[in-house]
């Protein structure tokens, strides 16, 4: 229901109730006023009749009184006029057929004075009036009873007793018809109702027009404006037709729309400028990132070259030293058994350093060289078991107890068998080197919904927290005594990454480490890695300090 309709209905109800009460009160007042006029007319008529017949009664001329009553009989507005004596007999009447008739003392005309045991000497005007229903006409009549008091002059002619014997000689009963009064009252009531209805219709029409023009139309205009703004039309303006509150509201709405439009234009301009700046900064960042990547690559190559040079320089320096020493001894051409034994020892050192240099070169090739992968569905459990067989001798030499947690059923996954075994061997040897005094090595294979998880847990020395972030970097090694060149875990990390898998480590110093390898059962469709680290060569286990 709209606001205008609610207001219109409310005003209609208020006006309807108010005018209804006004109409009822007006009709009631009209009825009371008209009845009061009739009562006053009846009183004056009664007094007039009493005055008219007074002289005739004094001279006892009854025929004059009859004539007077006949004259009243032809007058309109009178129902009947009667005079009763003290016994209730009708002495005079405007209806000839009622003359000398008898009325009971209990009738309403007589009850005015005879309602008590002893007749009343005087009765007020209000008590002497009554409204009765005419038997023949069925309409109401106003009856007024006027006592005819005895006077000293009444006894002169000898027709009445003295005043001392009787104070009231009879009763004059005048009945006036209310039919015309009620007809006029009904006509006035109809006119009042019609005027009230017309007044209500006129007022409601005027109020409706005012509500529509002053409230409903401006509110609809405001509503249309809000809908237009909601749709993004910030150019919508509400016409201001008045200076009242509605006009102020429309003006405020227009100011708000203008502010919104300005803010929208500023935001649009800022957005365009911001987009240009973002594109410019993005291009600059891309250039910087490309430059940094190139710088980082060159720095990594420099670091790698320096590390390789350092790692190769030590064994080559030893080889060169012992070679020169041997040449010097051989140049003396005095070979004794002691010298021969010393030369053999020096040559053994040269051999070891040569093997060490070769190991460095081989691991470097393993880290850098890539060849075509050979992926196929393999039993991961079998690959793990085969890798453990290869390190079984190292486990026995270091007194390490092996614990395996496998299922009896094969666990299939798409992988390169040789590469995966190479990565596992690096992790196994890493665990063995972490337990030189013995310990426990627990290896488990668990089949998940879409992947296979391999866990390798040792009870070795563990990895310090500050080393965990660097354990997969090339040439990083936390082993004591210079064992390893720090490429084993890097090779393993690259192999697992080539399988779209992940490798994680958890370690606590002096308690051990746990490496977790997880590879998918099926390679992702967008896996574009077509090359992998070569599985050839000897893998030297590298412990990252674990």
Please give the full DSSP string across 388-440, using - where no structure is assigned: HHHTHHHHHHTTEEEEEE--SS--EEEE-HHHHHHHHHHHHHHHHHT-TT-EE
d(CA 164, CA 168): 10
**pLDDT for res 415:** 93
d(CA 143, CA 168): 19
Where along the chain do its domains lie?
3-184, 371-533
* pLDDT tens for the chain, residues 1 to 546: 667 778 778 888 888 888 888 888 888 888 888 788 877 877 887 777 777 777 777 677 778 777 888 877 777 777 788 888 777 788 788 787 777 777 766 666 565 565 555 555 555 566 666 776 666 556 777 777 777 766 666 655 556 555 555 666 778 888 877 777 778 888 888 888 888 888 888 888 888 888 777 777 777 777 777 788 777 777 777 777 777 777 777 788 888 888 888 888 888 888 888 888 888 888 888 888 787 767 766 665 666 666 667 667 777 877 888 888 888 877 777 777 877 788 788 788 888 778 877 766 766 665 555 555 688 999 999 999 988 988 888 898 899 999 999 988 899 999 998 889 888 988 998 899 889 899 999 999 999 999 999 999 999 988 888 888 778 776 566 655 444 445 678 888 888 998 999 999 999 998 999 999 999 999 886 554 434 333 333 333 343 333
Residue of 178, 194, 142 lying closest to 27 (CA atoms): 194
> At CA 350, angle to CA 347 and CA 351, rounded to 5?
90
**pLDDT for res 541:** 37
Cα Rg, the chain, nearest whole Å: 67
**pLDDT for res 181:** 78
Region 371-533: CATH code: 3.30.565.10
Q: Which CATH number fits domain 3-184: 3.20.19.10, 3.40.50.10860, 3.20.20.70, 3.30.450.20?
A: 3.30.450.20
Q: What pTM, to 2 d.p., does this model score?
A: 0.38
**pLDDT for res 454:** 95
The single residue listed with the structure tokens 């209310």 is 178
């Amino acid at each position: 229901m709209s606001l205008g309709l609610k207001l219109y209905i409310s005003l209609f109800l208020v006006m309807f109730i108010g005018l209804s009460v006004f109409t009822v009160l007006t009709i009631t007042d009209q009825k009371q006023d008209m009845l009061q006029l009739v009562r006053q007319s009846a009183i004056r008529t009664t007094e007039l009749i009493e005055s008219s017949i007074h002289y005739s009664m004094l001279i006892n001329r009854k025929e004059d009184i009859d004539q007077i009553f006949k004259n009243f009989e032809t007058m309109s507005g009178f129902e009947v006029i009667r005079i009763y004596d003290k016994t209730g007999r009708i002495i005079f009447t405007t209806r000839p057929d009622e003359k000398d008739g008898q009325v009971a003392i209990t009738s309403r005309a007589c009850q005015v004075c005879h309602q008590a045991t002893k007749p009343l000497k005087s009765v007020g005007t209000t008590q002497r009036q009554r409204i009765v229903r005419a038997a023949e006409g069925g309409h109401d009549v106003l009856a007024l009873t006027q006592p005819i008091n005895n006077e000293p002059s009444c006894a002169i002619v000898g027709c009445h007793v003295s005043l001392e014997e009787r104070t009231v000689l009879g009763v004059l009963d005048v009945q006036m018809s209310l039919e015309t009064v009620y007809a006029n009252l009904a006509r006035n009531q109809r006119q009042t109702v019609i005027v009230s209805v017309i007044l209500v219709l006129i007022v409601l029409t005027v109020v409706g027009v005012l509500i529509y023009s002053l409230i409903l139309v401006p509110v609809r205009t405001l509503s249309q404006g809000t809908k237009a703004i909601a749709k993004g039309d910030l150019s919508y303006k509400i016409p201001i037709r008045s200076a009242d509150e509605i006009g102020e509201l429309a003006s405020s709405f227009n100011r708000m729309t203008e502010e919104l439009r300005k803010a929208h234009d500023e935001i649009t301009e800022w957005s365009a400028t911001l987009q240009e700046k973002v594109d410019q900064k993005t291009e600059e960042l891309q250039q910087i990132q490309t430059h940094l990547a190139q710088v980082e690559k060159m720095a990594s190559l420099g670091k790698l070259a320096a590390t390789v040079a350092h790692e190769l320089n030590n064994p080559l320096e030893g080889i060169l030293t012992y070679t020169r020493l041997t040449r010097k001894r051989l140049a003396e051409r005095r070979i004794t058994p002691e010298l021969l034994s010393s030369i053999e020892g020096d040559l053994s050192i040269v051999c070891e350093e040569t093997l060490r240099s070769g190991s460095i070169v081989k691991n470097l090739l393993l880290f850098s060289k890539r060849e075509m992968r050979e992926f196929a569905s393999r039993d991961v459990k079998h690959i793990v078991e085969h890798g453990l067989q290869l390190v079984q001798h190292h486990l026995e030499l270091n007194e390490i107890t092996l614990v395996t947690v496998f299922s009896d059923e094969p666990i299939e996954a798409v992988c390169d068998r040789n590469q995966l075994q190479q990565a596992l061997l690096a992790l196994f040897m890493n665990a063995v080197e972490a337990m030189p005094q013995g310990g426990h090595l627990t290896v488990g294979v668990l089949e998940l919904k879409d992947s296979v998880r391999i866990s390798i847990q040792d009870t070795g020395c563990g990895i310090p927290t500050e080393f965990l972030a660097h354990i997969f970097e090339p040439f990083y090694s936390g082993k004591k005594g210079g064992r390893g060149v720090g490429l084993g875990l890097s090779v393993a990390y690259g192999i697992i990454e080539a399988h779209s898998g992940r490798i994680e480590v958890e370690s606590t110093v002096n308690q051990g480490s746990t490496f977790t390898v997880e590879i998918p059962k099926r390679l992702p469709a967008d896996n574009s890695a077509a090359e992998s680290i070569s599985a050839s060569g000897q893998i030297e286990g590298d412990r990252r300090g674990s």
